Amino acid sequence: MSSRRAPDNHSGLKPVQKIELSERHTKLRIVLVVLFIVIALAAFAVGIIFYLSTDAGWRQVEASAADTNCSQDFIFYYEIQNGGLDGTAENRAVSTSYGEAAVEAYRIFNPQERFDGLYNLAYLNDNINTKIEIDATLYNALALLESYGNRTVYLGPVYAYYYNIFYSPDEANAAFYDPYKNEDMAEYFRRVAEYANDGESINIELYGNNTVMLSVSEEYQQFAKDNAVDYYLDFFVLKNAFIIDYLAESLIEDGFTKGIITSYDGYTRTLGEDRQFSIDVLDKNGEYAYIAGTVSSTGCISAVRMHNYSLGSADHGYNYGYSDGTAATAYVDPADGLYKSCINDLIGYSRGTGCAELMLNLLPVYIADEFNSSALSALKAEKGIYSVYCADNELIYNDKDLIVTVTSTSEVSYSKKYEE
């Protein structure tokens, strides 16, 4: 079941008021997660010398790295404090720190590719039923999953087919791998999910000091062999949540605390300092997705946006949109391996946790048969996790500190509603 993920090809993103959901209109793009006020990059040129200086202010930072890295999945803005040549040096230092972290993150969470001297997820996949020492970041990620009782990492053989769906060249190819459109695929996903949820079939034992063992039963090994399974473990939708936390903490550790990182699949982290933030709230309403309004506040936040429809090229590689308006998504129910969501759009954010822990709390709410707003109220009360969503042309939020502006046009009008 070999399935290697094609490289991403993200382009610039622009906010729009209405987004057609058909794949025939993939040129229409939208800001995906959090829209922060930034100052555009300005070039200073004298004669043939271009970008000789970097003025103080917000800059989009590219990862300075010669090796393959994960930065293509992210947009990183940083507030350069110095002007002139000092600003150029600062920008270079931020870029180098970001590049080093992006290389390491790409390698640590890679489920198939191994690297010399790094005991990453692929190394763990290749060494079953053997006690081994792994990278500390990977160990901590697995420990966090275990603390939440989350076993989604064991669904690697299912995720391999989801990658095939998301990168399909046409609908016929996507439908072949889609469990809702192919009964044989649904049965395979169900079988894998049964193994994934059975601790006797597959389990990761954590021994402390970064030492683990991936235990796989003989029965499951035979099933994997019969079905050409390449690997057992993959973080999938949680991967970039763990990666963005790693990138943020690495930059903060290097002393860079004035930035904002956003991923194309819906995650955002601010670096160490309170910032004013503004989030565009989307709402799928019939044929279109609208910007229902904007919410803004202040804080050092982690945020995630989830949606169950395609925004075309803006989120290519994270879902697949069919011409009938439906979409295959990365929000997979661990019970049966099928993608599922109980609401079109959900934004969650926290001023106290990282994106990985934020998602571990929100996924059981979003991947459900029925939407339970009381579960969101409980997350606010117990863990300081706030949420925003739309229902029946209402923008609903539960953070009293939010400033909320709703959309009102000739096509659609929203009201706002605060829920404790």
32 domain-assigned: no
CA dihedral over 194, 198, 202, 206, signed as positive or negative: positive
What does DSSP assign to residue 128? B
Backbone φ and ψ for 400, nearest 5 degrees, come out as -65, -15
202 phi-psi bin (left φ>0, alpha ψ -120 to 50, beta other): beta
Whole-structure pTM value: 0.88
393 domain-assigned: yes
The boundaries of the domain holding residue 387 are 277-308+343-420
- Residue 385's beta-bridge partner residues? 350
pLDDT bin (cut points 50, 70, 90) of residue 82 is confident
Give the pLDDT confidence of 149-206 residue by residue, as tens digits: 999 999 999 999 999 999 999 999 999 999 999 999 999 999 999 999 999 999 999 9
Q: Between vectors from CA 286 to CA 186 and to CA 293, what angle results, nearest 5°?
A: 110
Question: In the chain, how many domains are there?
Answer: 1
Residue 382 pLDDT greater than 60, yes or no: yes
Rounded CA separation 118/355 (Å): 24
The token duo for 121 is 């997820």
53 domain-assigned: no
168 domain-assigned: no
408 domain-assigned: yes
367 domain-assigned: yes
121 domain-assigned: no
Q: Single out the residue of 387, 385, 359 nearest to residue 295, CA to CA.
A: 387
Q: Which of 10-24, 69-83, 240-254, 262-276 has the highest mean pLDDT?
A: 240-254
Mean pLDDT of all residues in the chain? 86
What is the model's pLDDT at position 83?
72
- Residue 49's beta-bridge partner residues? 46
The better pLDDT of the pair 29, 215 is held by: 215
The better pLDDT of the pair 369, 8 is held by: 369
392 domain-assigned: yes
- Chain mean position to CA 124: 22
